[in-house]
Amino acid sequence: MSPRKLNMESSIYLGSDGRWHGRVTMGVKSDGSPDRRHRTGRTETEVTRKVRELEKLRDEQRAPKAGRVPTVQQWMETYLTTIASLKLKPRSLDDYWSKTRNDIVPGIGQHRLNKLEPEHLEAMYAAMLSEGHAPSHVLKVHRILSRALKIAHRRRMIVENVATLVDPPTVDETEANPFTQEEARAFLEAAAKRSTFVRWLIGVGMGFRQGETLGMRWQYVDLDAELFHPRWQLQRLTWKHGCTDPHLCGERLHRFAPCPPVCAVHKGYKRGCPEPCGKGCTRHASVCPDRKGGGLVFTRPKTKKSQNPVPIPPPFIPPLRELRALQEEERAAAGELWEDHGVVFSRPDGRPLDPRQDWEEFKEILEEAGIDDRRLYDGSRHTAGTILNELGVPLVTIMEILRHTQVTQTRRYVKGRSEQSRDAMKRMGDAFLPQLRPPVQRVPQGPTETRTETTDSRAARARLRRRIR
């Protein structure tokens, strides 16, 4: 009769099936029952190694929890629904969901978390790059997946976060292309012909983000104290289903086959034909009768520093007062059709300006002003920071105006100009040579005869040194 095993001591034995088996006591489950893990192998040595590895994880309190480990798809849905949604801003959460549906789930969604290997991630990233995705897009997918796996590791669902073993693609930072002062004047001259002139004056002259500008409300504009209080921003969010069966809700809009090369249905789509629906498609929430959380929504800025008040340049005050008077006239003309949102920049019926139409108008003004194409961010926020720097404003003050949390972030928004470099080097030259000397007049000489030829032989170099001595 074998002696009784001590508490938490493992057992290894040869089973009736001819294989070796190992039993390891890990503790207790959530329901109070013993948590014993089973390992098997062909030889006693193999099972002993597996048992020792499991015991080591138990002793270091790194052992995964009991139960079936979820797949990557199941865990990403859990992570985004119950964990990330408590911390992320709505627009960021939409972006996480989009990259999860379109990239992570098709690539590695069926792997279980504990079976995920670094090679799986590297193959997915390589496939994304070959499909034409930008390295910055792949890097964002890597960060989302790494964060989700970090939470799973923290909760002892997996032993290791394999995303930390993978090197994502290197991304070159997009170089800013702000307006010069001449281009900024030309842009505002072209924008002055439009009813939205003040919107572009604020964007270019004060460096406000698009969402902050379109979401600005009169109650946060103090014209007497000449202060803006950017407490809200306007964003377009994705609609979400409010029904119990999202797949059935959008049944009439499901399209599982790809469009033909010449598609007549989506010929008016600026971004081309949409991708076919997946097998369990839950999109089309915009037609759900109980839809929620989408459309144009007022949200808080990303950081608390972004809500700091910003001084209004005194020349901007008269155009703002004129805009307010014009808006009162539009309110009276619209009557009952007026939708009061209290926004500074509105449509004739009081609704906020659409961000997409605002972006298209920016492109139109660029073309009218004869300025080469660039991002909206370059023509507003980067332009304000760069011109402030050219005017000699200290970098710390620019940081306060742009409402950055760190001065290193402000340096990325300020682009040095060649004119500044040229002026700096001119002053450097004046410091060394305050008075330029007249050039030395050289007397022209006739041709000279070379008597000694240069050679690479060691003997020739030795003879040359003896002659010099």
Q: Residue 455 pLDDT > 60, yes or no? A: no
pLDDT band of residue 215 (cuts 50, 70, 90) is very high
pLDDT per residue as tens digits for the range 275-309:
888 888 888 888 898 998 888 999 988 788 889 99
What pLDDT sits at residue 437? 55
Token reading at 377: 């961010």
- State the average pLDDT for the chain: 85
**What pLDDT is attached to residue 144?**
96
Residue 12 phi, psi dihedral angles, 5° rounding: -130, 130
Q: For 394-443, what is each residue's pLDDT tens digit? A: 889 999 999 988 888 888 777 665 566 667 777 777 777 655 555 555 55
70 or 459, which is more confident: 70
Grade residue 1 by pLDDT with cuts at 50, 70 and 90: very low
| Nearest-angstrom CA–CA distance, 204 and 187 | 9
Integer Cα distance of 40 and 13 in angstroms: 10
Span 55-76, pLDDT tens digits: 888 887 677 766 678 899 999 9
pLDDT at 316 over 60: yes
The pLDDT assigned to 283 comes to 83
What pLDDT does 450 receive?
47
Q: Work out the percent of the chain whose per-residue pLDDT is above 70.
A: 87
Q: SS in 3 state form for the chain?
A: CCCCCCCCCCEEEECCCCCEEEEEEEEECCCCCEEEEEEEECCHHHHHHHHHHHHHHHHCCCCCCCCCCCEHHHHHHHHHHHHHHHCCCHHHHHHHHHHHHHHHHHHHCCCEHHHCCHHHHHHHHHHHHHCCCCHHHHHHHHHHHHHHHHHHHHCCCCCCCHHHHCCCCCCCCCCCCCCCHHHHHHHHHHHCCCCCHHHHHHHHHHCCCHHHHHCCEHHHEECCCCEECCCCEEEEECCECCCCCHHHHCHHHCCCCCCCCCCCCCCCCCCCCCCCCCCCCCCCHHHCCCCECCEEEEECCCCCHHHCCEECCHHHHHHHHHHHHHHHHHHHHHHHHCCCCCECCECCCCCECCHHHHHHHHHHHHHHHCCCCCCHHHHHHHHHHHHHHHCCCCHHHHHHHHCCCCHHHHHHHCCCCHHHHHHHHHHHHHHHCCCCCCCCCCCCCCCCCCCCCCCCCHHHHHHHHHHHC
Asked whether the predicted pLDDT for residue 161 surpasses 90, the reply is yes
| The overall pTM is greater than 0.85 | no
